[in-house]
A and B are shown apart, each in its own frame.
Chain A
Amino acid sequence: MVELYNVAKTYVVRERVGLFRPSRRREIPALQGSDLQVKPGEFVGLLGPNGAGKTTLLKIVATLLLPTRGEVFVKGIDALKYPTKVRRLLGVVLAGERTLYWKLTARENLLLFAGLHNIPRKEARRRAEELLSLVGLKEFASVTVEKFSTGMRKRLAIARALIHAPEILILDEPTSGLDPHGVEEVWNVLLALREQGKTVLMATHNMLEAERIPTRLLIIDSGRILTDGTAAEIVAKSGAESVALLTLDAKPSLAKGLSLRANEDGTWLISVPLEELPVHLSTIQGQGRRILNVEIRESRLWEAFLRLTGRPFDDLSGPNEEEEE
């Protein structure tokens, strides 16, 4: 359905070095020869930190960006040669909020974009009403988008991308900048699309979203696709393990290799592999330390990412992770 072969993209930027000095040319590799195949009905997630190359990859598929090298096919059509044909097959939601006309109402936006896909007026109206229901905005159909919350705009943007019943949906960080409630609302829409068997390629830097929504996940970092599989497969492949986080009243004396950290309130936090928990518990109790709290953290993608790249995934801030912890 979507095929990328050896796709690379290098941005050429101008570095400014003052008001009068000439700018310097600099090349920034964003994608370094990526291959990707998305089959019909797959919900593929691209997980990676900011600057990993996710948006670049999606924009190349969406025909907004020309790759430096490589080939891109959508349903067998060469996206670089026939961009207009490819766009008929795609529904695209780019990152950010400015993907709609804010001075138009929700319904007017949907009808406008239906018109761009040459959908007859009557059919467009029917689809607009259906989609407004799907994304839970039916009662706000006649309200201008400028009055919407960020979450409502994101949901309307998804409805906008679905107006022509595209074969493939491309979503770039559909929940970024949303509060937990907004995230939940968008997730419900995404889960409904997954249930319908829609082919989706979605970029995210949200670990929880990556674990919950896609049926297949690719981890991307520094312009390379590092691994591919379901979230569980990726965690298992990486050898990441479940851990217990123990909060102690004082510093214990333990074997090397265990993570130990002092908290601001004078307590100590220790991370031990889950299967070794009984042994460490008896050691700690034998030293007379008091265990104030025990938290079991199942092996997750962030550990897999750490193991795959050798560095922590540092873009975990956001409502979902807070909610998770």
Chain B
Amino acid sequence: MRPICALVKKELLYLRAYPLDLVNYAVSPAFIVAPYIFFAKLFGFSDDLLDSVAVGLLLWYWLSTLLGGVALGLEEEMEEGILETLLTHPITILHLLLAKAIVAGLENLYITGTMVAWFFLFGVPLRLPWPRFLGIVILSGLGLAGFMLALAAAALFYKKPFALYDLVQWGLGALSGVTRPSRDLPRPLWLLSRAIPLSYGVEAARAAILGHSTEGIPLLLGLGLLYFLLGQTLLRVAERRMKAMGTTGEF
């Protein structure tokens, strides 16, 4: 546990070096939230639907920040040229990614707070069952761990996997029903959405708002575990290949 704590502390100390990042985290959600609220209001959506849009957006923004923080987190180490040195210590890449995930989670709490504030400012008072909602958010984050590992593996392999990251981020958002329930999608896309753990997270969050039961959680966790195992395998393959090719220090 101590190595993870040390890495988490390092990430927090780096926030000290770039304080404007915290301002950015507070301001940028407004630019993400505004268009969705604008269109929802423009088409006369009810408050319930507004909540529905807001919750999907909140969940997706939260998770895409987590996904980016973890999947692209190694890029910071690679760019700084310190990844090789870190890997001469008795830690694995999974340790590094776990630390990134914890810090991304902390950053997300902050972002969530500011985003909720923006929703209020835009006249959308979120009537969320917060403890239940945050539980779903955390479980959805766990469900996405496999995608994070797979993207981190791509980062080790391709060094700059932005295209893949964007594809996964937006693809997950669209298919899991961020702004519109995924049952409204065309059937082939709906079938695809059933294979994405986040879909069950978004549905569970919406059900939580309406006071319904959240049945999809076991599926979310089951699928998440499957993707985790797959992602871990990909990460191992990428790490081994990197060591065989001698590209650990390259960026």
Contact = CB atoms under 8 A, between A and B. Distances in A.
Interface of A: 9, 11-12, 56, 59, 62-66, 84-85, 87-88, 90, 92, 94, 96, 98-104, 108, 111-120, 144
A66 B244 contact: yes
Interface string B79-123: 011101111111110000000000000000000000000000000
A100 B89 CA distance: 13
Given A115-B3, A116-B3, A92 B10 contact: no
B5 interface: yes
Nearest to A104: B13
Given A65-B246, A99-B81, A103-B13, 14 more contacts: A64-B243, A90-B88, A101-B14, A102-B80, A104-B13, A108-B10, A108-B13, A112-B9, A115-B2, A115-B3, A115-B6, A116-B89, A119-B2, A120-B2
Given A84-B92, A116-B89, A100 B245 contact: no
Contact of A111 (B6, B84, B245, B246): B6
A94 B13 contact: no
A11 B3 contact: no
Interface residue tally of chain B, by bracket? 20 to 34
Given A11-B245, A112-B10, A115-B9, A101 B2 contact: no
Nearest to A108: B13
Contacts of B84: 64, 94, 99
B182 interface: no
B90 A98 contact: no
Interface of B: 2-3, 5-7, 9-10, 13-14, 17, 80-82, 84-92, 240, 243-246, 248-249
A101 B87 CA distance: 14
A165 B10 CA distance: 22
Contacts of B249: 94
Contact of B6 (A56, A102, A103, A116): A116
A120 B14 CA distance: 22
Given A101-B10, A108-B13, A112-B9, A94 B3 contact: no
Given A12-B245, A65-B243, A116 B85 contact: no
B82 A112 contact: no
A66 B91 CA distance: 17
A116 B80 contact: no
Contact of A116 (B91, B240, B243, B248): B91
Contacts of B10: 101, 104, 108, 112
B189 to A, nearest CB: 36
Nearest to B10: A112
A23 to B, nearest CB: 14
